[in-house]
Amino acid sequence: MKMRTGRKAGCIFLLIKLLKISSQMLILKEEKIILRVNKKMIKVMNSEKKRAPLNRTLLLNDNELSRFGAKLIKLNKKVTLDEIVNKTIYQDLFEVLDYLPENSIDLFFVDPPYNLSKDFNGHKFNKMTIDAYCDYIETWLKKIVPLLKKDASIYICGDYHSSTSIHLAASKYFDVLNRITWQREKGRGAKSNWKNSTEDIWFCTNSSNYKFYVERVKEKRKVLAPYKIDGKPKDWEETENGNFRLTHPSNIWTDLTIPYWSMPENTDHPTQKPEKLLAKIILASSDAGDIVFDPFLGSGTTSVVAKKLGRNFIGIEKNLEYCCLAEKRLEIAERDKTIQGYEDGVFWERNTLALQKKIVPTIL
């Protein structure tokens, strides 16, 4: 009788083990199928788009998709900070948030799908009411709050469709300090409305104790009406290439360029933010070695700029191609730390690249 019971228990144990192995093999097979499908999709998309010879848009070949895909991680249990720092998590945000360590994030930057109907490489987002979009924001925002340190800063991106909902949701959890409005110089004109050429970034903090370093984000601008005292410039510098002043940044940003085909940071992501935009935020609201977190990573701009500026990062993205583009850009960032529009510790106006190379700025 005991022999039969023991044999039965052994069979059950063996059956459970086989089921686990089968399950793991099924998951592995599923991921390989997804990888093959993505390779085919990327190949089709790359062949469909005719690109100019000087086009510098970053693309992925089959080998890169496999190589960078191997660097991505997935979570199925609680993890420590060391296990995820400087990693790209290839997973849906809602599958991951419960596994992340609390009180670990210094700077939280989020660029969620705006309240528009848009296709993100096969992942579709549909426009909803203001209240419904507010509820959508809260579904992930309330889970991220415990992950933030007490002195953390928060930046939430949106446009005029989204901003009302963002303000309502953010004010429930954070101190809302400002709304930054930045100008996109790209976009089609409108015949029956004003051209939509701006976006918003809501600046919030987790408490009244937070980091903000204005000296790191001053802007170098041309002086149009130079003022002198006793024949000497007042708060500006005189150079062979013009007169310049370092100015305090405002909440209106007009010096940004949307990534396009001739810029080395450009990818095919439809809503990619400029590296310069992230540089302003990261320098103003974090220190070297801090943790910067982006749960809608896209093609990796937040992680890339964090790396270039000596910060640590954690990124979450559910699209394989975008994850691999992020990893490719991170690899490039190991040898190239340049950020277009940021030179020698100063942010420059648009279309001043030639001047940036000629002038060594003096901090006044």
Tens-digit pLDDT profile for residues 14-26: 555 555 544 444 4
Question: Domain 28-211+250-333 belongs to what architecture?
Answer: 3-Layer(aba) Sandwich (3.40)
How far apart CA 351 and CA 55 sit, in angstroms, is 19
Average pLDDT over residues 152-179: 97
Residue 348: count other Cβ atoms within 10 Å of its Cβ.
22
**Dihedral of alpha carbons 151, 316, 112, 349, sign:** positive
> How much is the pLDDT for 352?
74
> How much is the pLDDT for 315?
98
Average pLDDT over residues 66-91: 98
pLDDT reading at 220 higher than 80: yes
> How much is the pLDDT for 332?
96
Could you tell me how far CA 314 lies from the centroid of its own chain?
Answer: 10
H-state helical runs in the chain: 2-48, 62-69, 81-84, 93-96, 130-144, 163-173, 275-285, 301-308, 320-333, 353-358
Q: What is the mean pLDDT of the chain?
A: 85
Residue 79: count other Cβ atoms within 10 Å of its Cβ.
16
Average pLDDT over residues 118-141: 87
- Is there a contact between 153 and 203 (Cβ–Cβ < 8 Å)? yes
pLDDT tens, position by position, 221-242: 887 767 677 766 677 777 777 7
Tokens of 205: 């903090």
158 strand-pairing partners: 200
CA distances from 84 to 89, 98, 136, 139 (A): 8, 14, 26, 22
> How much is the pLDDT for 112?
95
pLDDT reading at 33 higher than 50: no
Where b means 16+ CB within 10 Å and e means fewer, 156-171 reads bbbbeebbebbbebbe
As annotated, the residues of the chain forming the CATH 3.40.50.150 domain(s) are 28-211+250-333
> How much is the pLDDT for 307?
98
> How much is the pLDDT for 2?
47
pLDDT reading at 43 higher than 70: no
pLDDT reading at 88 higher than 60: yes
How far apart CA 84 and CA 40 sit, in angstroms, is 29
How far apart CA 261 and CA 336 sit, in angstroms, is 19
pTM of the predicted protein model: 0.84
- Give residues with Cβ within 8 angstroms of 27, minimum separation 6: none
> How much is the pLDDT for 18?
52
How far apart CA 187 and CA 197 sit, in angstroms, is 7
Residue 147: count other Cβ atoms within 10 Å of its Cβ.
19
Q: What is the four-CA torsion angle of 58, 252, 176, 196, rounded to 10 degrees?
A: -70
Q: Under the phi-then-psi rule, with left for phi > 0, alpha for psi from -120 to 50, and beta for the rest, what region is 336?
A: beta
> How much is the pLDDT for 42?
53
- Is there a contact between 320 and 34 (Cβ–Cβ < 8 Å)? yes
Query: What DSSP string describes 223-291?
Result: -SS--EETTEESSSEEETTEEEEEE---SEE-------TTSTT--S-TTPPPHHHHHHHHHHH--TT-E
How far apart CA 210 and CA 152 sit, in angstroms, is 6
How far apart CA 213 and CA 313 sit, in angstroms, is 20
What percent of the chain has pLDDT above 70?
A: 80
Find the angle CA(31)-CA(26)-CA(60) to the nearest 5 degrees. Answer: 10
> How much is the pLDDT for 196?
87
> How much is the pLDDT for 55?
82
Average pLDDT over residues 103-122: 87
pLDDT reading at 66 higher than 70: yes
Tokens of 114: 């705006």
Residue 317: count other Cβ atoms within 10 Å of its Cβ.
28
Of the two residues 357 and 59, the one the predictor is more confident about is: 59
Strands 291-294 and 105-110: parallel
The maximal CA–CA distance of the chain, rounded, in angstroms, is: 109
